[in-house]
Every structure is written in C-alpha cells, then in structure tokens.
A and B are shown apart, each in its own frame.
Chain A
C-alpha cells in the first residue's frame, strides 16, 4: 500500500454513509493479515526502534485503556495485531514511514511540552499531546487507523490472535455467529 492509499482509505471512513452493511468496511483496513502467531516481533524486520514501539504501545493503551471493566489494548494483543497488519504480505515502506514520522512527532511533542518521553507522561498529559496531534489532518487519519486496528484486535474471531478468550465479545455481551471458523479455516487458507 502506498501513502496515497493510506490516506484515501482512511479518509473514506470519515462521515461515510453506507448502503449495504459490508460496503463501508469491506476494504478499509490497512492491509491483509497473515497468522498472528507466526509473528515474532523480536526477530521481525525492524519496523520501529525501541522508543517508537514504546510510544506506539503507550498510545494504544491510552486510546483503549483497561478501565471500568473494559479490556485494555495490551490485554487483547493489539500490539501484535498492528505488527501483522503492517507486515503482511510484506513490509510496506510507505506506510511504515508514515508511522515512524508520526511516532517521532509524538515523541518530540511530549519532549517539548513536558520534557519526558510519551510513555512516561500521566494520562492527562498524554491526552493533551494526542489531541494536539489530532489537529493535524494526517495525524488524525493515522490515529483513526490505530483505533480501527485496535477494534479489529478486540472483536475479530480469536483464531486470528486478538480477542483472547473472547475477551472483547464477553465485555460487550456479543454473541458470535455459528459455526465459528476453525484454525484451519482462516480466510487466507480458504482457497488452498
């Protein structure tokens, strides 16, 4: 996926009205996914440096915190989900660059305003930084993609690696459809 596509796809989710249930989201995610369990972030292509990963995880946890009975992003593997979204079928340098730029901006803004790395900020400070970032259109689209990605990790079938023990479904009292897919029926295995 190139940079233009990232922006176009993201923008298409804003204020769109959809006629058929599946139309709006049929193609809105970052890219296709392969098995999350095959992912080993430590040995993976170096998408981000340590500080960028830490910032990303802190952003995910701020956007979807473990509070008031809601599961937090780290409880349903949001980090690994994001990784696989960015690396299947291959690492796309354009999209990675957007992430790196945005993460660096987040880091710089935190440093400039509070003289601390983003993950070390208290909640209200993180909120301030992210809301400030959001004022920039491209940053807003980037944050929306992170949110969409978190929701995928929260509510897709656990066979894909997110939604551990159906934690997301249980939180919402959501009844999945039956039959549910087996591990051998992941969407990318259907045609093999």
Chain B
C-alpha cells in the first residue's frame, strides 16, 4: 500500500521538532499536523494581553475545555471544567508549540534520575520506577541539543555536575544582570555553589537566527529575534528548508484510526473551516504535550483497541507528572544599599539573572530524613508583566486595598527596589491519583470528550518544595533582600507537564517500549514528554528535546529496516 507520507507527526513542539528535523534531513517525507496557527518572529510582540491576560496563543476554553478533578477536604474528588475555573492546561498552541513561550531554563537530568528506585528505594504511596535507559544512553542527545537547538551557558564545577561529552557549551552565557554577581557573592559566603543557568537562548547569532535582544520579556512571550530555541525557530524552519517537510497549521487531529491488525491506518483531522480530512503514513508520531497525547489515544478506539489506542493494559494517561517544587521572592530595596550598588540593582532587567543552585539535588540532611531526591533552585527576575504585578496588590491583610493606599502600594512595588524570584524544581512523585481520562460529560467543539485531569499529589512534592524554596530564601536574605517569602503548594504548575504514556520494558505497566514505540501499535511512536516515568528535578524541555532526537534515530532505523 502506498502511503501519503513516510511519517506523520501530530504536534509541533519540543517533542516533535527533533523527529521532524532528523527525518526531513535524512530525506524522508514528513507531514506535521499542528492544531494552532503558524506565527513567526514578526508576529511575536511583548503584549501582555496576547500572552497572559487573554488567550492569544491558546484555544478558547469554551470551545476546548479540560476538566480538572481535585480532592475534597473531606475525601473524594470533585470536578470542574476549565471553562468554569481559573485553570488552563493549554500552554501554547501554535507551530512550535509551547516551546515558543518557554523561559528556556535548561538543565539536564542527572544519572541518579534514571535510577531512583535502585538508589533510594521505594516511596510509600508512589509509583517511582527506574528508567529502562540510563543517563549514558541520553547523554549524546543532550549534547546534540546544545549544538543543534542551541543552548548557551558555562560549565563550572559543582557537586552535582552531570557527566558531559563536550567540555563546555557551544555558546557563551547570555548577558547577565549585576544581581547575578550578588548571588555569587552570597553563595560563596554560605559555602554554596551558584552556577550559571544554561539557557535555550542564543547569545550570538548562528544557524540563521539572531542573538537575544534582551527586551526583558522572555518567558510566556514569543521570541521576536529567533534567539529562543523554540522547536519552530531551531528545527522546523530547517526541516522545511529541506523540501521534505510539510506543516499544516490549524489542523486538529480528532482520531487515529486503526485496522484489524491493530496498526494505525489513517489520521483524521479537521481544518480551520471544520472540514474533515484523512491522511496516512508509514509511521505516526504523537507529540501533543502529555495531556492531549493521552487524550488522543483514549479518543481513538479501534478493533484491537477497545479502550483506546495502545490501552489494552489501561496504562494510557496514568502517572501524569507535573513539576514539584516551591517558589519565593525577595526585594532588593535600593535605599538599603549605597548609591553605586543601588544603581546596579536598578539596571533594566533586560539582561538575565541566570543563576541556579543544585547543591541539594540529593538531600543528605539528617534533620530532613533519609538521603533522598531534592532538586534545583533557579533565581530569576520577577516576571515583568505590569498588569499581573499591579493586580497582586489589590488584596491586603484585611480585605481589598484601593484608592491612594493601592496606588502607593503599586508605586512602591515598581519603584523602590528590584525583586528576585526563586523557582525551586523537585520531582513530581508519580501517584495513582494523578492521571488523564476522558470526561463523560464535557466535550470539545468537535464533539470529542475533553481530557479530565485528576491532580492528586504526593506529600513529598510539598516537603521537598518547602525545603528547596527555604534554602533559596536563605540565599536571598544573605544578599540583603527584604520581604523574603518562600512556599510550596500542592497544585500542579500547568505549564510543566509530562508522563501519561510511560516507557518501560513491561507492557503491563508501560505504554511504550524503551524506544518510545507503543508496545501494542507497531507504527506508533510518542516523542513528547509523555514517556517519562519520573520527571527529575528540573524543567522538562531539554530532556524532551534530547529524547525526541533519540527516538528520531530509532524511527530512522525502523524505516530503514
């Protein structure tokens, strides 16, 4: 049978880009189906309405809701459509996906992340497992991401520096705000290792892309220069240039049809005018971001897959991961420092702070408990969004603040000092009560059941989050910061999501084999973050890129066999 394409890739973000890039470069014909619009550098501006206050880059929740299921105080679960709540699980539905809007805080996983059970033993109430591959299997691909996608940084010695095949990053660190030096000083005084945070941002022009322009508006915003290493800027544009890749934007895949042999036979999708189309390929790659990937499989039953594609062992959607951790902030008040230092702190936050601490990636602290996984502390500028910052001031200790009191509060926040934010990343411990299923009642505008996301969490997330955030807070205090706060919360950060289609050696407990090919569907690969059985204590994107390059090599081998 002749197929329309060698490979059909559903989704175009960080999980899709490396597969598309690799296959197109090797001469295979690739079709990319992306549900969102095709925007480029010239379309991306620093508009808080588009990125954050309205749904400029994500679907209308009335037409495409999710359902979130939360635990009741008295036990049991209650559900609510995201159209009726402040939740939003969409993270950027345009060509290149949410990688267009990432901050690009890039950390690799460490060898210990692949061997958590072997290293620390079981955690009660959790589904922690070792990975079926090791750090050494993924290292060459982390290295490839640095060079092909573009990661800037500087390797320094610290207790948890992971092994590297390249001595240093291919691009020097992005420009740094003077606050970075003050963090280094404070850490040195405390005997802590501050490290330059690697960024998926080009610090110099290369590969047809410009350098960062240091506008101060990075995370949540699309990049107007191409410096941010989005799947679109770094990979899809190069794949298109080969002539072997076709991208269809505004194409919502509604079902993967499968045949009597259990293999995918065609993809059904609707275009912007709601016309239905079908396309077939030799191999299908799903990379819709974890929740939507599981949903698409569950919405695709077939003769051999009555419970949804690749779901005969009821594993699809299970062990969904977010990022555990905590957060905090502190203010460097100009008046608390001499004029020279105050002027430096006041410098426009276009250049980055870019500092991380990984001294507690494994926590070996008797007061905390047995030796166990900790995580990463990142120090960053407070998000610059003026509406978001000012809106936080309307609530005081005794209710609403308004009038001159509110105006003074807002003015003080904007003018009296500069804030540093702590973002602490720890493992989102996989549990039975964090999973994706189909909601029986809520449907999208095409009549397909919406994903229902149960967001139960393990208490370990909170414990490690508090621990790490308070360590970050200590560093801020050492710097002379005021109003220092740190905290952790159980609610998941909806922009950091993985899992749901674990890879593993046993089909009874995993959806994918170690090559990220579905155990039950020979022509299906999943190349987004869904494969991760545990998340590690860093943002996911670098690992998703790296694994997708690894999967691309497996697909090349598959096609060549």
Q: A residues near B, CB below 8 A?
A: 2, 4-5, 8-9, 12-15, 17-29, 32-33, 62-65, 67-68, 70, 127, 130, 134, 140, 143-144, 147-148, 151-152, 154-157, 160, 168-169, 171-182, 185-188, 190-191
Bound form: Cα–Cα A8–B415 in Å: 33
Distance of A125 from chain B, by nearest CB (Å): 14
Q: Which residue of B lies closest to A126 (CB)?
A: B403
Across the interface, which residues of A come within 8 angstroms of B491, CB to CB?
A: 19
Q: Is the CB of A179 within 8 A of B55?
A: no
Is B213 positioned at the interface, with any CB of A under 8 Å from its CB? yes
User: Could you list 20 examples of A-B contacts with CB < 8 Å?
Assistant: A5-B85, A8-B85, A9-B85, A13-B391, A19-B327, A19-B423, A22-B385, A25-B387, A27-B61, A27-B86, A28-B86, A65-B403, A134-B400, A152-B387, A172-B414, A177-B215, A177-B216, A185-B45, A185-B50, A187-B55
Q: Are A187 and B399 in contact (CB under 8 A)?
A: no
Q: How far is the CA of A3 from the CA of B49 in the complex (A)?
A: 24
B262 at the interface (CB under 8 A from A): no
**Contacts A19-B493, A24-B388, A172-B411: A67 and B404 contacting too (C-beta < 8 A)?**
yes
Q: Within 8 Å CB of B390, what residues of A?
A: 151, 154-155
Chain B, 26-59, contact with A by CB distance < 8 Å: what is the 0/1 string? 0000000000110100010111111111111100
- Which residue of chain A lies nearest to B401 when distances are taken between CB atoms in the complex? A147
Q: A19-B325, A22-B220, A185-B47 are in contact. Are A8 and B84 (CB under 8 A)?
A: yes
In the assembled complex, the Cα of A21 lies from the Cα of B57 at a distance in Å of 16
Give chain A residues whose Cβ lies under 8 Å from the Cβ of B493. 19-20, 23
Question: How far is the CB of A20 from the nearest CB of chain B, in Å?
Answer: 5
- Chain B residues with CB under 8 Å of chain A are 36-37, 39, 43, 45-57, 60-61, 80, 82-88, 213, 215-217, 219-221, 224, 250, 323, 325, 327, 348, 382-388, 390-392, 394-395, 399-400, 402-404, 406-407, 410-411, 414-415, 421, 423, 487, 489, 491, 493-496
Measured between C-beta atoms, what is the minimum distance from B72 to chain A in Å? Answer: 15
Contact B407 A181 (CB under 8 A): no
Q: Are B407 and A20 in contact (CB under 8 A)?
A: no
Give the nearest-CB partner of B80 in chain A: A8
Q: Tell whether, in the assembled complex, residue B37 and residue A17 are in contact, meaning their CB atoms are under 8 Å apart.
A: no
Docked CA distance A133–B363 (Å) = 50
CB-CB nearest 10 A-B residue pairs: A177-B46, A21-B383, A177-B217, A187-B56, A12-B86, A187-B50, A181-B45, A155-B386, A19-B493, A172-B414
In the complex, besides A22-B495, A68-B407, 10 extra interface pairs with C-beta distance below 8 angstroms are A19-B325, A21-B421, A27-B55, A29-B54, A155-B386, A155-B390, A175-B348, A180-B45, A181-B45, A187-B50
Q: How far is the CA of A24 from the CA of B390 in the complex (A)?
A: 13
Q: Is the CB of A191 within 8 A of B391?
A: no
Which chain B residue lies CB-closest to A10?
A: B86
Q: Smallest CB-CB separation from B383: which chain A residue? A: A21
B406 touches A64 (CB 8 A): yes
Q: In whole angstroms, how far apart are the Cα atoms of A127 and B404 in the complex?
A: 12
Chain B residues with Cβ below 8 Å from A9 are 85-86
Chain B residue contacts of A20, Cβ below 8 A? 219, 423, 493, 495-496
Known contacts A21-B219, A151-B387, A190-B39; decide if A178 and B46 are in contact (CB<8 Å).
yes
Contacts of B221 in A (CB 8 A): 177
Residues of B contacting A14 with CB < 8 Å? 395
Instruction: Identify the closest chain A residue to B390 (Cβ).
Output: A151
CB distance from A33 to the nearest CB of B (A): 7
A17 to B215, CA, bound (A): 26
Contact of A148 among B348, B394, B399 (CB under 8 A): B394
What's the least CB distance linking B367 to chain A, in Å? 25
* Chain B nearest CB, measured from A5 CB (Å): 5
Pairwise interchain contact A23-B85, C-beta atoms closer than 8 A: no
> Among the interface residues A25, A28, A186, which one has the most CB atoms of the partner chain B within 10 A?
A25
Q: Point out the residues of chain A lying under 8 angstroms from B392, CB to CB.
A: 24
**How far is the CB of A190 from the nearest CB of chain B, in Å?**
6
* CA–CA, A187 and B54, complex, Å: 8
Closest to B61 in A: A27
A23-B394 in contact (CB<8A) = no
A70 smallest CB distance to B (angstroms)? 4
Smallest beta-carbon distance A138→chain B, Å: 13
A156 close to B383 (CB less than 8 A):
no
Contacts of B220 in A (CB 8 A): 21-22
**Closest residue on chain A to residue B387 by CB atoms:** A155
Query: Are B224's CB and A179's CB within 8 A?
Result: yes
| CB of B456, distance to nearest CB on chain A (Å) | 17
The answer to whether A32 and B54 have CB atoms under 8 Å apart is yes
Name the distance in Å between A163's Cβ and chain B's nearest Cβ: 9
Q: B residues within 8 A CB of A185? A: 43, 45, 47, 50
Bound complex: CA of A117 vs CA of B96, how far in Å? 55
- Separation of A14 and B53 alpha carbons in the complex (Å): 17
Determine which of B250, B407, B415, B421 lies in contact with A67 in the assembled complex, contact meaning CB atoms within 8 Å.
Answer: B407
Q: Is B495 touching A23 in the complex (CB atoms < 8 A)?
A: yes
- Which residues of chain B have C-beta atoms less than 8 A from A21's C-beta? 219-220, 382-383, 385, 388, 421
B49 interface neighbour in A148, A157, A168, Cβ under 8 Å? A157
